[in-house]
Amino acid sequence: MPTTILETFSVSRLDILNPEGDCDEELLPPLSKEEIVRLYELLVLSRAFDERALSLQREGRIGTYPSIRGQEAAQVGSAYALQPADWIFPSFRETGVHLTMGYPLASLFQYWAGDERGLVCPEGLNILPVSVSVGTHLLHAVGAAMGARYRNESIVMAAYFGDGATSKGDFHEAFNFAGVYRLPVVFICQNNQWAISVPRGRQTAAQTLAQKALAYGFDGIQVDGNDVFAVYRATRDAVDRARGGGGPTFIECFTYRMSHHTTSDDADRYRSREEVEEWKSKDPILRLERFMEKRGLAGEAARREIGQRTRTAIDEAVRAAERMPPPERRDLYRSVYAECTPRLAQAMEGGGNGDA
Amino acid sequence: MATLNMVQAVNLALREEMERDDRVLILGEDVGQDGGVFRVTEGLLDRFGKGRVVDTPLAESAIVGTAIGLSLYGLRPVVEIQFLGFIYAAFDQIFAHAARYRNRSRGRYTCPLVIRAPYGSGIKAPELHEESSEAFFCHMPGIKVVVPSGPHAAKGLLLSAIRDPDPVLFLEPTRLYRLIREEVPEGEYTIPIGKARVARQGDDVTVIAWGSMLERVMKALEPFNAEIIDLLTLSPFDSETVLGSVEKTGRVLIVHEAPRTCGFGAELAATIAEEAMLSLRAPVLRVAGPDVPVPLARLVDYYLPDAARITAAVEELLRY
Ligand SMILES: Cc1ncc(C[n+]2csc(CCOP(=O)(O)OP(=O)(O)O)c2C)c(N)n1
Ligand SMILES: [Mg+2]
């Protein structure tokens, strides 16, 4: 008996804006001039926040911090395609997503300074607390999507994670459930080529991450993660499909972690400087600047003004974060249960058999 | 003899044992090229090659599950879970398989593997990087749980753990990694699993601690005539040394950083109540972490037992 081919797969990649700032007019998403300048401002804000966070860490004013440098377009472009009512399930390296959705800057500084209160999401937004345990939160996005469908609400869930997370069992379980129930989830992977010291090529033998979705019965696409238009467009399409009942989509944003894994890491131990240099020319902000120059959008003066506005916002946020009164001892106990257990209540008052 | 910190002592133990026994291999996230996020496996990739020092994809369940397979096949895997707080995905593998293959097969198949995991609080790291959940694993028949309190103990215990015929969870207190330096002999010496160490002789009160709390207890109780027991192995723990000391002093304080409720101190207290009740002159006291998730940096000093709480508890005991 001959073998018959049951399925064939192809994996596509979307590129719109190249590093020189030239773009594919047909693929360019329909964004107004103001929206393009807004995207630019969000990219600049994300980078400036990141730089400030790194210097605060060096000064001992915040704790361990994971830089997003190089990944700004993947974060801003994807979050910009979401509605404020959509829910976001982030990992720990999503500052640009937070900023795009309007999460308070001061709260982010507060969180990275080791204060849980910085994770209290303001009313009107649904950004879940960052998931430090890699990949585990994808399932929560799937469950929330099931909830939204149950209630007939057209809310889309966006789950963010890295290339390393695709190795976790939870990733596969989440994809499987989302596929089986055709749930309104957009899985957004920032393939920044590294999971601490492990390169993408050692994380999976598959040629792309995007293709993993195909095995679970839904679409996966790779996009240039340093191209804010490509990321935005792919996410828009995925969000529209999810909202329209078309089920989940997986977007692999092909990008690069320009900095160390976190401020506790030393990337020189495991990757070459040349590799990092090479990615510098693919910078997501530079290429949008070039694009805007060619289109006569936001000239030098306007860009200077954006830079100034950004710095002011960050200065104010740092001041506000550092002016917040420190958490009190009693805060240890307050949020463990809806109602303090008798033992916790006793410990909170400083009593109890030697408890803090 | 070299003066080493705990990172270097564990590294030395791994290197020597890999040289001695070609069945020993290392698996984990970032253990190869990077030498581990705490540098515990530094230099081992260069020395032993990719076949024996294996950088794995990011999957704790797979790391432990694979180690089980390796050990069933006759090898001696030493795997690293990057932080104890990330071990939970592997819980099923540990509980349902590593701990039970021997019993399930009536000794025909066994899992002589070691799971190393940095653990414990006080390094101002992000969430889930400071867990102290040793008690979960003490509640699993079939697994041994070992916690060194310094470089010398770390090397001797790790050699015993690797040679042990059963699975061992080897917990390395991160707060101590670079805090204490000790003389650590090169070459062969082992510290038996299941034996506690009397870290300081004393008469008035028995204080039991392990891991990073031992260092705090030793410092805090210098002015007291306390007998301080460094438990070293939690499962199976050395009841002989514990009960012998309790019979001598009649007063007991147990100090651990894990949450108090169902922490390993509860097992110690229950055993003491069962077997040495008539020697007690005071209730058994515990100074432990509160029953809350380990907080982030701004609150962590309220979480960890400190010298004030340790001395206050000892003073209370001495009033009886
Ligand atoms: C379950 C789990 N295992 C290990 C870690 C330690 N750790 C933190 S980030 C990381 C690598 C993550 O890589 P990736 O998913 O690519 O995300 P990136 O850091 O590149 O953004 C590891 C191993 C963790 N946080 N959670
Ligand atoms: Mg990555």
Pairwise CA distance, residues B247 & A84, whole Å: 66
Q: Has the ipTM of the complex gone over 0.90?
A: yes
Pairwise CA distance, residues A85 & A231, whole Å: 20
Catalytic residue among A137, A236, A257, A260: A257
Q: How many residues does chain B have?
A: 320
**From residue A172, how far is each of A66, A212, B48, B72 by CA, in Å?**
25, 9, 33, 27
Residue B61 CA, distance from chain mean position: 20
Q: What is the pLDDT of residue A351?
A: 67
Mutation site, A56, A203, A341, A355, interface B, largest B CB count within 10 A: A355
Q: Taking Cα atoms as reference points, which of B122, B140, B153 lies closest to residue B258? A: B122
Q: What CATH class does B197-319 carry?
A: alpha beta
Query: Nearest Cβ partner of B290 from A63, A326, A356?
Result: A356
List, as ranges, residues 28-47 from B with C-beta within 8 Å of A: 29-30, 32-35, 37
Question: What residues of chain B lie within 8 A of the CB of A64, using their CB?
Answer: 124-126
For chain B, 320 residues long, the average pLDDT of each consecutive 10-residue run is 96 98 98 98 98 98 98 98 98 98 98 98 93 97 98 98 98 97 95 98 98 97 98 98 98 98 98 98 97 96 95 98
Match 């209630």 to its residue by tokens: A151
- CATH number at B2-184: 3.40.50.970
For A132, phi then psi, to 5°, come to: -80, -30
- The residue to mutate among A64, A92, A95, A134, having the most atoms of ligand 1 within 8 angstroms of its beta carbon, is A134
Pocket lining: A209 vs ligand 1, CB cutoff 6 Å: no
Q: What is the pLDDT of residue A2?
A: 87
Flag whether residue A206 sits within 8 Å of chain B, measured between CB atoms.
no
What pLDDT, in 10s, does the model give residues B58-116?
Answer: 999 999 999 999 999 999 999 999 999 999 999 999 999 999 999 999 999 999 999 99
Other residues' Cβ atoms within 10 Å of the Cβ of residue A146? 17
Q: What is the pLDDT of residue A46?
A: 98
Pairwise CA distance, residues B4 & B279, whole Å: 40
Q: What is the pLDDT of residue A356?
A: 47
Q: What is the pLDDT of residue A350?
A: 82
Q: What is the pLDDT of residue B311?
A: 98
Rg of chain A in Å (alpha carbons) = 21
Q: What is the pLDDT of residue A354?
A: 44
Tokens of A102: 């309007």
Q: What is the pLDDT of residue A136?
A: 98
H helical segments located in chain A: 33-58, 72-80, 95-101, 105-112, 138-150, 169-180, 200-203, 212-215, 228-243, 273-280, 284-295, 300-323, 331-334, 342-348
CB-CB contact of B280 with B249 (8 Å): no
Domain locations along chain B? 2-184, 197-319
- The residue to mutate among B30, B56, B82, having the most atoms of ligand 1 within 8 angstroms of its beta carbon, is B82
Pairwise CA distance, residues B35 & A195, whole Å: 14
pTM for the structure as a whole: 0.97
Dihedral sign for Cα B40, B41, B42, B44, please: positive
CB-CB contact of A185 with A212 (8 Å): no
Ligand 2 ion: nearby residues, β-carbon < 5 Å: A 162-163, 192, 195
Q: Mind telling me how many Å the CA of A329 is from chain B's nearest CA?
A: 6
What pLDDT, in 10s, does the model give residues B253-273?
Answer: 999 999 999 999 999 999 999
Tens digit of each residue's pLDDT, chain A (356 residues): 789 999 999 999 999 999 999 999 999 999 999 999 999 999 999 999 999 999 999 999 999 999 999 999 999 999 999 999 999 999 999 999 999 999 999 999 999 999 999 999 999 999 999 999 999 999 999 999 999 999 999 999 999 999 999 999 999 999 999 999 999 999 999 999 999 999 999 999 999 999 999 999 999 999 999 999 999 999 999 999 999 999 999 999 999 999 999 999 999 999 999 999 999 999 999 999 999 999 999 999 999 999 999 999 999 999 999 999 999 999 999 999 999 999 999 999 986 544 54
Say whether B197-319 and B2-184 share the same fold: yes
Pocket lining: A1 vs ligand 1, CB cutoff 6 Å: no
Q: What is the pLDDT of residue B1?
A: 83
Flag whether residue A35 sits within 8 Å of chain B, measured between CB atoms.
no
All domains of chain A in start order, with CATH:
12-325 (3.40.50.970), 331-356 (no CATH)
Q: Strands across the sheet with B197-200, in order?
A: B197-200, B226-230, B205-209, B252-259, B285-289
User: Nearest-CA residue of chain B relative to A172?
Assistant: B59
CB-CB contact of B195 with B16 (8 Å): no
